[in-house]
Chains A and B, each alone.
Chain A
Amino acid sequence: MRKEAVVADNLTKVFITKERKGLFKRSSKKKIVAVDHVSFEVRRGEIFGLLGPNGAGKTTTIKILSTLLLPDEGEAWVNGYHVVKEADRVRATIGVSLYSDRGFYWKLTGRENLRYFAYLHHIPPREAERKINELLELVGLKEHADKLVEEYSTGMKSKLNFARALLNDPETLFLDEPTIGLDPASARTIREVIKRLSREDKTIFLTTHNMEEAYFLCDRIAIINRGKIVAIGTPRELKEKIRDKNIVEIEAVNLTDSVVEKIKGLEGVEYVSVTLSDPASFKGTMRVTFNGTFDECLPDLLKVLVESNVRLLYVKPSEPSLEDVFIALTGVSFYEEHTKGSEK
């Protein structure tokens, strides 16, 4: 039996969209490569994260692996079964939670929804009841189980979605943004459940754009951007990729675009990313990645900041983050790509 739970080999998916300019003008076709020759392997029992901004190809990848989407090129196997030729066997051994506010029957209760899907998975009624009670307890929905789904909040629907993915006791779980829309306590519960499931030798394949979540939850992470995998490894291995770089974190006021451009032009500076907490006063946090030592680069950096009337709040060396890894590998900020992907 293969060690790998999921194998993707050169997966490619191209969508054709139409650009319509007006009521009576001809529309032009545009090709969008959502997944571009993606290859990776996921070991049994590990928590594998697919990290990327919006529009990177995460959901498309999950849909191919869960048989909802047919790839244009390449192949994939899940739990040893081919996702196209043996799709029914794949479906019998996976659980999927897709990100969506919909996906349930509003006029059925949470319990009734689970019961329905349990039967569709061919789980006999008695076993289904036992399983449903267990899962409702697990996700913290027991007291709301007999309310109609139309009365559920977004967070409750997310939990019910997660419970549904576990109904058929799958070997591999595909979770698309599992904690989105959840309050911190509920998100923590779900993460703990994910960890527990992994200890029970279930393979978890999750997508997220939350870097902290990916870092703390996943055994290995694949960073994806514009349909391509740019790096795969454990969080530590990914950070090692920019081991030779130094990063300084600066919190200041008046971090205008011209200041950032000046810093980018300094010798030794490779990347600069800015996150503004108060756009009106240009107050925020700047992370500067440079390939020299602190002694070599810091004086020039501070000189530029002082001459530009930047009010410094703190300056400190920093450990590389996944955001820094992303910038190093793609040349652009994760959050810029995330915004562009949302606009797409």
Chain B
Amino acid sequence: MPVRQEISLSTKIREIALELYAAAYNGIRTYFRYPMWIISDLITSPLWLLLFIIPMLLFLPPEKWSDPTTYQYFYWGMIFLDVISMALWSFGSAIRWEQQTGTLEYLYLTNASRLVLFATRMCSRLISFTMSALYLALLMTVMFGAQIKVADPLLLLLSLFLSLFTALGFGAIYAALVLKLKQVGPLNNILQFVLIGVSGIFFPVDRLPLELKVLAYLSPFTYCVDLVRAAAMKTTTIMPLWHELALIVLLAVLMNFIGIKILGYIEATVKKTGKLGVY
């Protein structure tokens, strides 16, 4: 039997750092070699914003369309949506991309962490997210006269990070579905709309009827977006701040644990059926 050497913690940390660097390397280089994506984002962002916001504004009287609070809710709702979309769909779309390019099997021939592997998409999304957050704020000012302000920047960064981390767990489950089924189809669109509706992403959930409020309280994203709004707009949180933070951390750890387990199980399943490399 060969001599088995245990890997030290420092070596393990170095290896993970190298994997993260590799993921960033691949993701960012590929992103900037498609400059039309960046241009497309710049052109279409205001258009999709209009398409999304105007139907909702129709329920308000015209004189309220320039109410800054309404736009603040919309803005932070869009930012939050972008963050969780990044985590929800990045893994699944990265797997699909690897299946299409035929590189998935080669990735599985390495010992790199599976989650880090699929962070390639996340890296480019982080860049586009930062650009679009600033760009969106500018658009809000130019198109609607709304000033976007941040009450507590540190708390905002923490809440966005925790939201991302929470969504990662769901993202791992979605990635497992893509690995197994290849074409998950547009079901993810429906899931996204349901999440938006139930989690109060654009409005406080206390305005919902009781039945929907109960559903909202069951969604971890309700607390995440609540925290983001509290940090940005100094709104009152559903529960005391530290309780809400603790709850979000707990939910994030739980969701990631479940997500990783499911991803590992599905990996074993597709290796068993020989469908790993199937596109």
> A117: which B residues are within 8 A, CB to CB?
106, 110
Q: Give the A interface residue count (CB, 8 A).
A: 44
A3 on the interface (CB 8 Å rule)?
no
A104 touches B103 (CB 8 A): yes
**Which residues of A are interface residues toward B (Cβ below 8 A)?**
1-2, 13, 15-16, 34, 60, 63, 66-70, 72, 79-81, 88-89, 91-92, 94, 96, 98, 100-108, 112, 115-117, 119-122, 124, 148, 164
- Looking at the complex, which one of B18, B30, B109, B273 makes contact with A96 (CB distance below 8 Å)? B109
- Looking at the complex, which one of B1, B14, B102, B117 makes contact with A103 (CB distance below 8 Å)? B102
B271 on the interface (CB 8 Å rule)?
yes
Contact with A along B259-279 (1 / 0, CB 8 A): 000000000100111101100
B2 touches A98 (CB 8 A): no
B30 touches A79 (CB 8 A): no
B18 touches A122 (CB 8 A): yes
B29 on the interface (CB 8 Å rule)?
yes
- Looking at the complex, which one of A72, A91, A102, A119 makes contact with B109 (CB distance below 8 Å)? A91
Q: In angstroms, how far is the closest chain A Cβ from the Cβ of B253?
A: 24
- Looking at the complex, which one of A34, A91, A103, A112 makes contact with B110 (CB distance below 8 Å)? A91
22 contacts between A and B (CB under 8 A): A13-B274, A34-B274, A67-B109, A68-B105, A68-B109, A70-B271, A88-B111, A100-B102, A103-B103, A103-B105, A104-B101, A105-B103, A107-B29, A107-B30, A108-B33, A112-B25, A112-B29, A119-B25, A120-B19, A120-B112, A121-B110, A121-B112
Q: How far is the CA of A94 from the CA of B111 in the complex (A)?
A: 11
Q: Which of B4, B22, B106, B112 has the most CB of A within 10 A?
A: B106
B85 on the interface (CB 8 Å rule)?
no
Contact with A along B13-29 (1 / 0, CB 8 A): 01100110110011001
A102 touches B117 (CB 8 A): no
B1 touches A80 (CB 8 A): yes
B144 on the interface (CB 8 Å rule)?
no
B59 on the interface (CB 8 Å rule)?
no
> A148: which B residues are within 8 A, CB to CB?
33
B2 touches A80 (CB 8 A): yes
> B14: which A residues are within 8 A, CB to CB?
122
Q: How far is the CA of A150 from the CA of B277 in the complex (A)?
A: 20
81-126 of chain B: CB within 8 A of chain A = 101-103, 105-112, 117
- Looking at the complex, which one of B19, B26, B117, B276 makes contact with A105 (CB distance below 8 Å)? B26
Q: How far is the CA of A119 from the CA of B19 in the complex (A)?
A: 6
Contact with A along B109-148 (1 / 0, CB 8 A): 1111000010000000000000000000000000000000
Q: In angstroms, how far is the closest chain A Cβ from the Cβ of B278?
A: 11
A68 touches B111 (CB 8 A): no
- Known pairs A70-B271, A122-B18; list 18 more (Cβ under 8 Å): A1-B2, A34-B274, A60-B274, A67-B108, A67-B109, A68-B105, A72-B272, A81-B2, A91-B109, A98-B277, A102-B101, A103-B102, A103-B106, A116-B25, A119-B21, A121-B111, A121-B112, A148-B33
Q: How far is the CA of A40 from the CA of B103 in the complex (A)?
A: 29
B26 touches A91 (CB 8 A): no
> B18: which A residues are within 8 A, CB to CB?
119, 122, 124
> B105: which A residues are within 8 A, CB to CB?
68, 98, 103
Q: In angstroms, how far is the closest chain B Cβ from the Cβ of A58?
A: 14
Q: In angstroms, how far is the closest chain A Cβ from the Cβ of B98?
A: 9
Q: How far is the CA of A104 from the CA of B22 in the complex (A)?
A: 15
B101 touches A106 (CB 8 A): yes
Q: In angstroms, how far is the closest chain A Cβ from the Cβ of B119?
A: 12
A80-B1, A112-B29 as given contacts; A122 in contact with B274, CB under 8 Å: no
B193 on the interface (CB 8 Å rule)?
no
Q: Which of B4, B268, B271, B273 has the most CB of A within 10 A?
A: B271
Q: How far is the CA of A72 from the CA of B29 in the complex (A)?
A: 41
Q: In angstroms, how far is the closest chain B Cβ from the Cβ of A99?
A: 11
1-46 of chain B: CB within 8 A of chain A = 1-2, 4, 14-15, 18-19, 21-22, 25-26, 29-30, 33-34
- Looking at the complex, which one of A69, A79, A89, A100 makes contact with B276 (CB distance below 8 Å)? A69
Q: How far is the CA of A119 from the CA of B273 in the complex (A)?
A: 29
Closest A residue to B16 using CB positions:
A122
> B276: which A residues are within 8 A, CB to CB?
68-69
A108 touches B21 (CB 8 A): no
- Looking at the complex, which one of A101, A102, A119 makes contact with B22 (CB distance below 8 Å)? A119
> B273: which A residues are within 8 A, CB to CB?
15-16
